[in-house]
């Protein structure tokens, strides 16, 4: 009887092992950059094509390798970083496992050129699938150049599981940005499909942060540093008004190695306590310096997970340091002034044309429907206006009504029309006289024939904007407000790449933007649903929400962008609305295809039947 157990071939075992180290193109970039930094490079150039699937090239001016070392470098577990078990406990380099180059050659076609100072000529190797195909001598400056072509060419299943081009390029950019922040003394040059993405000269830590994340953010961050017997903690903290809707810009470095640590992230978040709105996350960069013997970096082949010797002490120190840094700085948000009145720069309340509204009330005839946040757009289809919603026939559609174009039958009386206008014009009227009410600046309450209807104002407006954006995408007729003075906005390298990828879709949404390179975006127009003065924040919020939705599994770009914009441009819970605003909001809600749920699935309308009220008060 033959044995069922057999030893895998080196080729197959290498492909399996490569899956732990080389998960995507960004993994290759990360490993090659770590080798360059370990070789004491002061200048690193990265070039990628087709988001790294076609080509990845990393060139450095480091120490280089001899011919013998170059031949050994691609053998599994071949490394110059450690020699004994004791070295494993005191790791000072980024790489040490000796798996990266072997894993890369197992799934790609690799070319190496390297020269040390002691050699006159460089050693050139061409390797495919663990096999050296060519070995020659050539001219090269001192340093190393590694070119990786056709990643996963011999493992098509792995290639098919790669994400979209934008996602893979974003991961590569993020990996490079993290290294650039950790090593500001190194020059970085990064191109994607021949477009320069980063060109960073040697700089201080502060200068590098400003260059990568923009001067606006840098001017609103808190620098801090603290030292005790355990470790040194330093870095930068974003003020609460610069909180984002994603965790993308939260960087933690341990001895200059980028790491993921839920424990550390939780300590920072806990330090902010109630300074942040729900669902917001702070910007921060933490640099931890501690004895390498007190931390284990040999937890995972990617070397981004670590185990600390005393996690509770680490947690308490970070919590204390961050909390103290926040307490010592003025965190009161700034207020701008316009026409002598103080206004919030982020106020996105609704605007209405009172003359259009008043004319509709007085004549008791149909009036143009104007979108929430602006007046009617030229060429937009007309729809009947209903000044209040009392008399909704249990939210049931009716084709017999004069307002048959609405999804629901809305019966009105002249008295209700007059009452609505009087209440809007005279805020001193009692709450009881109003046809609709706003509860806690969150919910709109109205009487219907057989009970009460409660509407969440934020998700209602979100549904309206979502369907409007999808319609703009289909009709390619965006409504744009041109800015009198174009707005120049600095974004992070990752966000600049995202804006470039989404530029066509953003223009259909209503943004008129120009890319000026070096992380600079010039905005000349904004969607009609965005209030003037709110353009800088809405663009950043849409990008953050887009990334959150992408992580949540929303793969359709248009749907993701429509949901992102609707969520961030919609009125918020806490915005006070007058009668006119509430009525128009509900009017537009009833004109949507699906008024009962928001784009994310949350309910918009809750109905409380009269029978339920009678039951609660013992009338049955």
The 10s digit of each residue's pLDDT in 426-472 is: 444 344 444 689 999 999 998 887 788 899 999 999 999 998 888 88
Same domain assignment for residues 300 and 225: yes
Same domain assignment for residues 393 and 480: no
Distance CA 293, CA 296 (A): 7
User: If you search the block for the tokens 């149909």, which residue do you land on?
Assistant: 366
Distance CA 138, CA 120 (A): 9
Residue 237 lies in a domain: yes
Long-range contacts of 513-519 (CB under 8 A, 24+ apart): 513/539, 516/488, 517/196, 518/199, 519/212, 519/214, 519/490, 519/491, 519/492, 519/493, 519/495
Same domain assignment for residues 33 and 135: yes
Euclidean distance between the first and the last CA atom of the chain, given in angstroms as a whole number: 82
Same domain assignment for residues 489 and 405: no
| 594's tokens | 């699906």
Which run of H or E residues covers position 362? helix 354-363
Same domain assignment for residues 188 and 73: yes
Residue 431 lies in a domain: yes
Residue 231 lies in a domain: yes
Let me know how many helices (H) and strands (E) the chain has, helices first.
Answer: 19, 24
The 10s digit of each residue's pLDDT in 511-568 is: 899 988 778 899 898 888 887 777 778 888 888 888 887 776 676 788 888 888 888 8
* SS3 call for 432: helix
Same domain assignment for residues 105 and 180: yes
DSSP 86-100: HHHTS--SS--SS-H
Distance CA 448, CA 396 (A): 11
Same domain assignment for residues 217 and 184: no
Residue 340 lies in a domain: no
Q: What is the CATH number of the domain that holds 283?
A: 3.30.230.10
Distance CA 354, CA 198 (A): 50
| 353's tokens | 């044309």
Residue-level pLDDT at 37: 94
Last-in-domain residue among 547, 569, 591 = 569
Residue-level pLDDT at 204: 95
Residue 530 lies in a domain: yes
Residue 47 in contact with residue 103, Cβ under 8 Å? no
Last-in-domain residue among 202, 221, 255 = 202
Which residues span the domain enclosing 506?
A: 472-569
Same domain assignment for residues 47 and 161: yes
Same domain assignment for residues 187 and 221: no
The 10s digit of each residue's pLDDT in 100-126 is: 888 888 889 999 999 999 998 999 999
Distance CA 122, CA 138 (A): 5
| 587's tokens | 């009017």
Task: Please give the tally of structural domains in the chain.
Answer: 4
Displacement of CA 159 from its chain's centroid (Å): 25
For the chain, give the longest Cα–Cα distance: 100
Same domain assignment for residues 45 and 83: yes
Residue 465 lies in a domain: no
Distance CA 122, CA 140 (A): 6
Pairing mode, if any, of strands 257-258 and 250-254? antiparallel
Q: What are phi and psi of 252, to 5 degrees?
A: -125, 125
| 172's tokens | 């590569």
Residue 334 lies in a domain: no
The 10s digit of each residue's pLDDT in 234-273 is: 999 998 877 777 777 899 999 999 998 889 998 998 888 6
Same domain assignment for residues 406 and 496: no
Residue-level pLDDT at 58: 97
Residue 279 in contact with residue 324, Cβ under 8 Å? no
DSSP 488-526: EEE--HHHHHHHHHHHHHHHHHT-EEEE-STTEEEEEEE
List of the chain residues with pLDDT < 50: 332-434
Q: Work out the burial of residue 155: count CB atoms within 10 Å of its CB; fewer than 13 is exposed, 13-18 middle, 19 or more buried.
A: middle
Pairing mode, if any, of strands 250-254 and 284-289? parallel
| Dihedral, CA of residue 116, residue 117, residue 120 and residue 125, to nearest 10 | 10
Same domain assignment for residues 136 and 257: no
Residue 345 lies in a domain: no
Q: What are phi and psi of 431, to 5 degrees?
A: -60, -35
Picking from 455, 387, 491, the residue whose alpha carbon sits closest to that of residue 604 is: 455
Last-in-domain residue among 202, 230, 259 = 202
Q: What is the CATH number of the domain that holds 592?
A: 3.30.1540.20
């Amino acid at each position: 009887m033959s044995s069922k157990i057999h030893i895998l071939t080196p080729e197959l075992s290498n492909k399996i092992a490569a899956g732990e180290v080389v998960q995507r193109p960004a993994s290759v970039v990360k490993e090659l950059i770590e080798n360059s930094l370990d070789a004491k490079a002061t200048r690193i150039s990265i070039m990628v094509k087709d988001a790294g699937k076609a080509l990845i090239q990393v060139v450095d001016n480091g120490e280089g390798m001899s011919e013998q070392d170059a031949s050994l470098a691609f053998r599994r577990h071949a490394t110059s970083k450690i020699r004994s078990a004791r070295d494993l406990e005191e790791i000072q380099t980024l790489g040490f496992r000796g798996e990266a180059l072997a894993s890369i050659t197992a799934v790609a076609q690799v070319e190496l050129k390297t020269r040390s100072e002691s050699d006159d000529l460089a050693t050139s190797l061409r390797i495919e699938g663990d096999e050296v195909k060519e070995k020659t001598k050539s001219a090269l400056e001192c340093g190393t150049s590694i070119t990786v072509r056709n990643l996963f060419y011999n493992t098509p299943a792995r290639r098919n599981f790669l994400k979209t081009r934008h996602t893979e390029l974003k991961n590569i950019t993020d990996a490079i940005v993290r290294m650039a922040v950790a090593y500001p003394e190194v020059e970085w040059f990064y191109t994607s499909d021949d477009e320069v993405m980063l060109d960073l000269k040697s700089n201080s830590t502060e200068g590098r942060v400003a260059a990568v994340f923009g001067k606006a953010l840098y001017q609103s961050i808190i620098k801090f540093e603290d030292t005790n017997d355990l470790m040194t903690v330093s870095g930068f903290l974003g003020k609460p008004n610069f909180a984002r809707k994603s965790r993308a810009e939260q960087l933690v470095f341990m001895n200059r190695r980028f790491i993921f640590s839920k424990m550390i992230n939780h300590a920072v978040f806990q330090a902010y306590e109630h300074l942040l709105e729900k669902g917001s996350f702070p910007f921060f960069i933490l640099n931890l310096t501690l004895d390498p013997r007190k931390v284990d970096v040999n937890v995972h082949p990617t070397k981004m997970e670590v185990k600390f010797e005393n996690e509770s002490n680490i947690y308490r120190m970070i919590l204390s340091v961050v909390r103290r840094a926040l307490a010592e700085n003025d965190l009161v948000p700034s207020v701008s002034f316009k026409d002598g009145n103080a206004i919030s720069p982020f106020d996105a309340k609704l605007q209405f044309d009172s003359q259009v509204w008043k004319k509709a009330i007085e004549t008791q005839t149909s009036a143009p429907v104007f979108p929430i946040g602006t007046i009617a757009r030229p060429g937009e289809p007309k729809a009947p206006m209903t000044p209040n919603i009392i008399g909704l026939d249990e939210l049931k559609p009716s084709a017999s009504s004069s307002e048959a174009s609405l999804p629901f039958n809305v019966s009105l009386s002249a008295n209700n029309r007059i009452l609505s206008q009087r209440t809007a014009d005279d805020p001193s009227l009692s709450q009881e006289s109003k046809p609709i009410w706003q509860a806690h600046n969150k919910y709109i309450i109205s009487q219907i024939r057989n009970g009460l209807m409660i509407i969440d104002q934020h998700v209602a407006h979100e549904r309206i904007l979502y369907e409007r954006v999808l319609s703009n995408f289909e009709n390619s007729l965006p409504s744009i407000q041109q800015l009198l003075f174009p707005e120049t906005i600095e974004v992070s390298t990752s966000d600049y790449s995202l804006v470039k990828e989404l530029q066509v879709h953003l223009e259909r949404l209503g943004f008129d933007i120009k890319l000026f390179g070096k992380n600079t975006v010039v905005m000349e127009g904004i969607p009609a649903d965005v209030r003037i003065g709110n353009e800088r924040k809405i663009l950043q919020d849409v990008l953050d929400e887009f990334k959150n939705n992408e992580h949540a599994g929303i793969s359709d770009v248009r749907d993701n962008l429509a949901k992102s914009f609707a969520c961030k441009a919609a009125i918020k819970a806490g915005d006070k609305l007058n009668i006119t605003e509430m009525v128009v909001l509900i009017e537009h809600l009833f004109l949507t295809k699906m008024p009962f749920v928001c784009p994310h699935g949350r309910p918009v309308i809750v109905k409380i039947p009269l029978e339920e009220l009678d039951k609660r008060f013992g009338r049955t």
